[in-house]
Amino acid sequence: MAVARNVVTMGQQAAGKTERVQEILSWYESDNPGVKTNLARLLNAGRLAGTGKFVILPVDQGFEHGPARSFAVNPAGYDPNYHFELALAAGCNAYAAPLGFIEAAAARHAGEIPLILKMNNHDVLHDEKDPLPAVTASVADALRLGCVAIGFTIYPGSAHAQTMYEQLREAAEEAKACGLAVVVWSYPRGTSLSKEGETALDVAAYAAHIAAQLGAHVIKVKLPTEHIEQAEAKKAYEKANVPRATLAERVKHVVQAAFDGRRIVIFSGGPKKENDEAVFDEARAIRDGGGFGSIIGRNSFQRPKEHALKFLETIMKIYAGELK
C-alpha cells in the first residue's frame, strides 16, 4: 500500500505546474507564498491532481448530527483512521474534519494527504433556528497537526451572522499570516429564510459572494434550486433574464457570484442518496456549470468501503472529463 501511495505522489508532483493550477493560483494576488504553496498542495493532490478539480472528504457530521446518525449505517466510520484511509484510497484532494478526528490519526498519516481543520462546529442537542457554532479549534492546532487550511462555517441569514463574520475575519487573518489557506462552508440558515430559501438560487449565490468577500480561498455551498427567495432579487433575475432552468445553469451563476469564477467554489454532497446515478448527474451539472468539484461526506462514508471507492472513482472520472 505504501508503495502505491509513493507512486501517486510522484505523479502529483509531475502534474504540479499545469497551466490550470498556475491560472488558479494567479487569482490570489494578495496572498503570501505560504498560502499559495498550501493551495497548490490542495490542487496537486490525489486522483484529480493538476486538473483544477476537487473531491474532498469532510467528516464533521458526527459532531454536527450525532454519531449514530452519521456512522451506525457503516460502523467502520466510528474509527477516525477509517476516514483517512478512505480519502487516501479514493485519491481525494483533501480530508476535512474537526479537531478530535484529525488528532486521532494525523500522526500515522503525516504528509500523506492535505488536511483541513474544521475550526467551528455546532451540535443538534440544542438545535437553534439561528445557529451560532462554537469555535472548537485554533490556527495553532492546524499548524501543529500539519494542515494546509482551516475550515470555518458561516450561516448567512442567521441572527448571529455578523458574529460569525467577525470570528471568520479574525481566524482568516491569523491563518493567512501563518501561510494557511481558508475554506469556508457558507450555508444560509435562519429565521429570516424559509426552508426552501436555504437552497434558493439567489441565496446560494449571495452566500458564495459573502464568503468570497470575507476572504475565503475555497467556498463550499449547497447545490441551488430554481427557487428565488428574495422579492427584490426576483425582480433583478427576471429583468436580467438570468438562466436558471437547469442545475448546470444555476451552478454557473453561483460560481459567477464568487468574483466571476475567480474563487474556488465546490458543492456539498448533502444527505446520502440511495441512487448513485443521482449523485453522478449532480457531478456532471457541477462540471458543466464550471464548478470546481464536490465535498462529499455522507454519500462517501455511509457506503461500504468498496462501494464508496467505486462511487468516488466515478465522480472523479466525471470531473476529469473521462466520463460524459
In a domain, 192, yes or no: yes
33-69 pLDDT, tens digit each: 999 999 999 999 999 999 999 999 999 999 999 999 9
The domain total for the chain is: 1
Cα 40 to its chain centre, rounded Å, is 16
Is 220 one of the annotated active-site residues of the chain? yes
**pTM for the structure as a whole:** 0.94
Least confident of 1-5, 17-21, 58-62: 1-5
Q: Which of 36, 53, 118, 220 is catalytic?
A: 220
In a domain, 212, yes or no: yes
Task: Determine the structural domain holding residue 64 and report its residue range.
Answer: 54-319
In a domain, 44, yes or no: no
Q: Are the C-beta atoms of residues 300 and 59 closer than 8 Å to each other?
A: no
Q: Report DSSP state, residue 223.
A: P
Q: What's residue 259's pLDDT?
A: 98
In a domain, 186, yes or no: yes
239-271 pLDDT, tens digit each: 999 999 999 999 999 999 999 999 999 999 888
SS3 assignment, position 124: coil
Mean pLDDT value across the chain? 94
In a domain, 1, yes or no: no
Assigned C-alpha cell, 264 = 474556488
Measured CA to CA, the distance from residue 122 to residue 144 in angstroms comes to: 23
175-215 pLDDT, tens digit each: 999 999 999 999 999 999 999 999 999 999 999 999 999 99
Q: How many CB atoms lie within 10 A of CB 297?
A: 24
Q: What's residue 16's pLDDT?
A: 55
Beta partners for residue 294, in sequence order: 55, 267
In a domain, 35, yes or no: no
Q: What's residue 270's pLDDT?
A: 86
Q: Report DSSP state, residue 292.
A: -
Q: Does residue 13 register a pLDDT over 70?
A: no
Q: Does residue 1 register a pLDDT over 90?
A: no
Q: Are the C-beta atoms of residues 56 and 295 closer than 8 Å to each other?
A: yes
**Whole-number Cα distances in Å, 252 to 44, 96, 215:** 24, 25, 21
In a domain, 218, yes or no: yes
Q: Report DSSP state, residue 60.
A: -
| Domain at 305, CATH number | 3.20.20.70
